[in-house]
Structure 1
Amino acid sequence: MGTRGLVAAMALMLCFGVDRVVSDASDHRYKAGDPVPLYANKVGPFHNPSETYRYYDLPFCSPEHVKEKSEALGEVLNGDRLVDAPYKLDFRVDIDSKLVCKKKLTKEDVSQFRTAVTKDYYFQMYYDDLPIWGFIGKVDREGKTDPSEFKYFLFKHINFDVLYNNDRVIEINAYTDPNALVDITEDQDIEVEFFYSVKWKETTTPFEKRMEKYSQTSSLPHHLEIHWFSIINSCVTVLLLTGFLATILMRVLKNDFVKYTHDEESAEDQEETGWKYIHGDVFRFPTNKSLFAACIGSGTQLFALTVFIFILALVGVFYPYNRGALFTALVVIYALTSGIAGYVATNFYCQLEGTNWVRNLLLTGCLFCGPLFLNFCFLNTVAIVYSSTAALPFGTILVILLIWTLVTSPLLVLGGIAGKNSNVEFQAPCRTTKYPREIPPLPWYRGTIPQMAMAGFLPFSAIYIELYYIFASVWGHKIYTIYSILFIVFIILLIVTAFITIALTYFQLAAEDHQWWWRALLCGGSTGLFIYGYCWYYYYARSDMSGFMQTSFFFGYMACICYGFFLMLGTVGFRAALFFVRHIYRSIKCE
């Protein structure tokens, strides 16, 4: 998956047009004997999906002049570095044990191969845009526990089985010959003969369905049934709990309305208590209003980005191994939605009677991109030190900077200007008093951190089952294709986040604490912190990832993703709380 982390992080924030990669033969039609494009992509440790290297970084047989394939932006972000493979698989031409080359391996080459075999290195290729995988060797342990007694072997013969339908390639599989091995246990010069074989078979599978086999592992009836059952079980439990709390809240609110109406009719001079008592302070603007408005603007943009990505996924754009489609989609959509962030942030900032809207606009533009850029600089440096394909070339970095400069920034400014000139006043049903009331002492569990813990737990419990499948796809070699389930879980996540934030906001106002603005945003976004906590559990308990580079990529990019979730869900929580607070204070008479 290459830089799956960058994919994921920029998968929550960056996007640039979704284009389908085509082979050199754009119509994928061939005649007997025609050359079919075969590209070697990368190699790397099987359990470290971000730690990938160029195919010829290992001392395989290579042509005198390695020809690189031009790649789209999304492919580069995905860590793909396609070059001509050493094998020639012409259309419908069977080959029996053809010699690739005789390669003299030095001690250094043998040591390099042995290290790769020890780390379960795999190779990846693309044949007519169909992915091929295989391991480069194996470790023979023979029941021994001492690594010094293990035997290390390199595969030297690959068999390709290709299925075709008329003039099109439908399927390809690669198998290594278990009997064609080279012992690389000792550091010594050896000569290796690399071979390959090709067998063509006819099939009736239509060309349009040739990618379906790659999604079968994630949608087999047995696994699909368990998947749906787990999701439904989790969602029903969460929704029942949410409904139970909603019923209680509605009954309490109904009693409050009756009580306050009775008080207004029976005793005008009776002292007010509860949330009505702070009606003169509840719409007092929050501190750090510029930062607050920037959070709302950035969160709204990320929400719009997520919705657009779901639309593309549901219409079938992100089919398996459509190389770079998600990354390309992320870079451009993020750039095109920056106007939403500028408009919402500046408009809301002006509603809060802010005066320095230019500074607010700059803060909005840097609130998410700033931490992402700093994190990328560090991780890209790590990838460069490791000589990994996860390191973006200078040209790609320049393209992204140009997109940010020529598309993202202008749209952000235009959105900010439109937001400033909209002249919309903040709609408050109650007048705000000149001086704020003192907040009464509250127990510890009503503090910000305990409230965030309670607010994040319920939404997280609605999605944690689905998180495993997503992590296994982004940080592993599983394929995720059931976007309908993911969309349902996303809707439930929004509903539960909105409700739990409303409930906690009500309890806060009932305790006569009127500083609810930041609390609503923090409680709504606290699910992002729970997701990051799950990252630690997944890394150490559910995966076999290791090494400084993979660890840095995993926790670095997941921090950016969880930060994006924090902003997005925090915005959802605050908007829901603001709607609720306006509603209840419109329903009573406040003087």
Structure 2
Amino acid sequence: MGLGYRSQMGMVRVLFFLLAISSYAEAFYIPGWSIKSYQDNEAIPLLVNKVYSDSTQLQYAYYDLPFVCPPTGAHHAGSALLSGQTISLNLGEVLRGDRITQSDIELSMGKDAPCSHLCNKTISRNDLKRARELVKDGYVAEWIVDNLPGATSFVTVDKSKKYYAAGFKMGYKDVELSSGKSRYYINNHFTIAIRYRKAPGKDGERGGKVVVAFEVYTKSVGPEKRLADGCPADLTEVDTPMELYIEPNGTAFSELYPHSSYHPHEVDQDVEDGATLEIPYTYSVYWREDDKIEWAHRWDMYFMNQEEGHRIHWLAIINSLIISGSLSANVAMILARAVRGDIKSYKDAAMEDGKVKLKRKSRPGSSARTPKIGEKNGLGLLEQVGDTDNDADVSSDEEALEDVTGWKLLHGDVFRVPAYGYLLAPLIGSGMQLVFMAVGLLFLSSLGVLNPSFRGGFVSVGVGLFVFAGVFSGYFSGRVYQTFGGKNWRRNTFVTAILFPGLLFALVFILNLFVWAQASSTALPFGTLVGIILLWLCIQLPLVYIGSWFGYVRTGAWEHPTKITALPRQLPIKPWYIQTVPSILLAGLIPFAVIFIELFYVFQSLWKDKSGYYYVFGFLSVVSIILIITIAEVTIVTIYIQLCSEDYNWWWHSFFVGGGSAAWVFIYCIWYYLTKLHIEGFISGFLFFSYSFLACVVYGLLCGTVGFLTAYAFVRRIYGAIKAD
């Protein structure tokens, strides 16, 4: 059976071993591919990336904003790029909306610059409106130095620890208490604080230094009281901040709005009357040596505010272990005893004088006829054999076997080919493709190979694993397809390679059109779309073909322990909790309870804290292992109950039961959107639910494949055990 007490205890021991090493895997952190050290006064490039907000799903390239200092195109020491040139990005960086560009801000190792003038940017009323919208939505900007994002520092409530939040505010909003009107201010002075220490090894002996922290503090400084070079006369005490407001331009404005006061309505402020506003931008640079931060742990400051969640992560692990352990005990006790008891009782009753005879227990009101001797009726466990004239023996055997019921009666139908099997086979193949990708990502992330310093690495490696896992997709799809009796394996190969990836690409392309219309950096460039299509058609499709050929032609179909009868048996009326939709929802609730707590942190990293990074992949890996075990056990219990109800349509049911928790995850997405997020606007909401739906489909396909393969192995095992003896 494979479900005995010893095997379950062995599974638990392996799980605890993985749990023990997860803490070490989490500590094994690779913050970058190589350490970059700098000598005194050596130039260090500062890169600008994008702006983003927790209130919207739309991101924008920093230099696309009309109110910031545009790049001059000049060459600065320390970089091979001209100002305004974009560095080469990997696929993951492009997909996450990064647009990393060389800036005009100059940094030199260890050299302070109390104030430097960047530019005077003149903006129109339309540009001013755009600036107010971004400030109102709480947009933050991301700059990069030595692969570290510029951060705003915070302290814990007890002021015992300091932690970082990537990015800095573009501006702030203030509301007048007397009038209740809103005023918007732009942050136009940047204080850059860079912490460094002596480089490890021989580089440090030669005077090399490494960057261990990059902080950005902003301030809004009005145009008054400035020196000849454009810098503020006093940065410590600012009397007037830089307000995003343009006074009415003489008669043109007064004729349109004669009754407007100093602060007219925001709609009135946006009237294009030719007036402009000049915003002076300046920056300061300060270098501070800090021996408390190791270069290998310089990213820890970005995770410091999440350390308090470690206790909750452990509670999530314990919660998952309790749920899975309880379910494992039930599976071991109920199924092991019940199935073995059924098999034993069947053999004691059926094996008489070397003949296997079986009668289906009669049901009141059943219209099923009594089969003739030797007829394949699809109702018995094995074909009846014996002397056709021995009617008396059959009658006596019927009395002896009248207690044989349930799943033992489905011998001739349990492996009957399911309806729409030509769709189920490609789905199973795509599910195995996702399983391989997910296992690879979790393994590499737990080892620290994929980490925040490898910008875009998680997505890039994920796409690569998905493409090259086409071999597994083709293999399992081809083999399942032949098991279902399919003849045209090339058509199945084409469907497997096109169905899920094609739907995925079509949905992403449609969403990309909406993002394109908003001029967001999240929109995929045309070249990237062409590259994805080439990866899909030129690499994945041939790999799916190779895997399908090997699975269909070379390996062949899985053999079943019983034969299929000519006529299908009549299906009984099932209780409500065994019917398709209720059983899927009830069975899916248990795996959802396993991942519920960890799901909160994943959502927080993806949606709420876009500036943050999810990093506890050790915990996530353990929870994922428990999830797979739970899905397997829930599917076995559900399919066993279905078979005991004499319903042999378990193929699709096992797939949907395995992926049933995806429905609860989507419900959780709705709850999270309504209670935890502050997303505004139709486009942002549409993107949230579209991406959430897509993620739930991927999750459901992955888990459904696990459920299907588990149920298939279970059904083959129990019916093979009966035939074995």
TM-score by length of 1: 0.91
Match of 1:69 among 81, 87, 95: 87
Q: Distance in 2 between matches of 1:79 and 1:559?
A: 20
Match of 2:618 in 1: 484
Match of 1:9 in 2: none
Q: 2:280 corresponds to which letter in structure 1? A: E
Contact persistence 1:302–1:568 (CA under 8 A)? yes
Contact persistence 2:467–2:540 (CA under 8 A)? yes
- Asked if 1:399 is matched to 2:531, the reply is yes
- Asked if 1:111 is matched to 2:129, the reply is yes
Match of 1:328 among 457, 460, 479: 460
Q: Distance in 2 between matches of 1:81 and 1:176?
A: 22
Give matches, 1:237-248, under 5 Å: 237-244=323-330, 246-248=332-334
Match of 1:6 in 2: none
Contact persistence 2:479–2:557 (CA under 8 A)? no
Contact persistence 1:46–1:122 (CA under 8 A)? no
Q: Distance in 1 between matches of 2:697 and 2:329?
A: 29
Contact persistence 1:525–1:568 (CA under 8 A)? yes
Match of 1:390 in 2: 522
Match of 1:542 in 2: 676
Match of 2:356 in 1: none
Match of 2:702 in 1: 568
Give the direction of change, closer, same or farther, for the CA distance of 1:322–1:496 in structure 2 (3 Å limit): same
Contact persistence 1:54–1:388 (CA under 8 A)? no
Q: 2:170 corresponds to which letter in structure 1? A: I
- How far 1:20 sits from its partner (Å)? 9.3
- How far 1:195 sits from its partner (Å)? 1.4
Q: Larger deviation: 27-36 or 448-457?
A: 27-36
Q: Larger deviation: 341-350 or 543-552?
A: 543-552
| Count of residue correspondences | 566
Give matches, 1:2-151, under 5 Å: 28-65=36-73, 66-132=84-150, 133-141=167-175, 146=180, 149-151=181-183
TM-superposition CA deviations, 1:97-127 (whole Å, max 9, x none) = 2211222332222222112111111111111
Match of 1:315 in 2: 447
- Asked if 1:171 is matched to 2:213, the reply is yes
Query: Looking at both structures, which has the greater relative contact order when contacts are Cα pairs under 8 Å and sequence separation is at least 6?
Result: 1
Match of 1:203 in 2: 290
- Asked if 1:511 is matched to 2:599, the reply is no
Contact persistence 2:31–2:297 (CA under 8 A)? no
- How far 1:21 sits from its partner (Å)? 8.0
- How far 1:54 sits from its partner (Å)? 3.7
Q: Distance in 1 between matches of 2:54 and 2:692?
A: 20
- How far 1:142 sits from its partner (Å)? 5.0
Contact persistence 1:368–1:564 (CA under 8 A)? no
Give the direction of change, closer, same or farther, for the CA distance of 1:106–1:455 in structure 2 (3 Å limit): same
Match of 1:278 in 2: 410
TM-superposition CA deviations, 1:355-410 (whole Å, max 9, x none) = 01111111111221122111111111011100000111111112112211221111
Q: Distance in 2 between matches of 1:547 and 1:122?
A: 18
Q: 1:202 corresponds to which letter in structure 2? A: E
TM-superposition CA deviations, 1:264-309 (whole Å, max 9, x none) = 2576433442111111111112122211111111111111111111
- Asked if 1:226 is matched to 2:312, the reply is yes
Match of 2:338 in 1: 252
Measured on the aligned residues, the alpha-carbon RMSD in Å equals 2.2
Of the two, which has the highest radius of gyration?
Answer: 2
Give the direction of change, closer, same or farther, for the CA distance of 1:505–1:416 in structure 2 (3 Å limit): same
Give the direction of change, closer, same or farther, for the CA distance of 1:343–1:244 in structure 2 (3 Å limit): closer
Match of 1:410 in 2: 542
Q: 2:637 corresponds to which letter in structure 1? A: A
Q: Distance in 2 between matches of 1:468 and 1:362?
A: 38
**Aligned partner of residue 432 in structure 2, secondary structure:** helix
Match of 2:11 in 1: none
Contact persistence 1:54–1:389 (CA under 8 A)? no
TM-superposition CA deviations, 1:21-66 (whole Å, max 9, x none) = 88xxx86222222221111111133332543344332311123332
TM-superposition CA deviations, 1:185-241 (whole Å, max 9, x none) = 4546332221111110112233222222223232x2x32113212331343144324
Q: Percent identity?
A: 33
Q: Larger deviation: 31-40 or 297-306?
A: 31-40
TM-superposition CA deviations, 1:413-450 (whole Å, max 9, x none) = 11111122224343211122111111112233321111
TM-superposition CA deviations, 1:162-191 (whole Å, max 9, x none) = 111132211110011364721124546332
Match of 1:214 in 2: 302
Contact persistence 1:153–1:183 (CA under 8 A)? yes
Give the direction of change, closer, same or farther, for the CA distance of 1:145–1:120 in structure 2 (3 Å limit): farther
Match of 2:189 in 1: 157
**Aligned partner of residue 84 in structure 1, secondary structure:** strand
Residue ranges of structure 1 left out of the alignment (5+ in a row): 1-18
Q: Distance in 2 between matches of 1:169 and 1:229?
A: 36
Give matches, 1:386-535, under 5 Å: 386-477=518-609, 478-535=612-669
Q: Distance in 2 between matches of 1:399 and 1:71?
A: 13
Q: Distance in 1 between matches of 2:296 and 2:721?
A: 58
Q: 1:134 corresponds to which letter in structure 2? A: F
Match of 2:227 in 1: none
The runs of at least 4 aligned residues of structure 1 exceeding 6 Å deviation read: 19-22
Give the direction of change, closer, same or farther, for the CA distance of 1:252–1:84 in structure 2 (3 Å limit): same
- Asked if 1:582 is matched to 2:716, the reply is yes
- Asked if 1:353 is matched to 2:439, the reply is no
Q: Distance in 2 between matches of 1:573 and 1:273?
A: 25
Q: 1:140 corresponds to which letter in structure 2? A: D
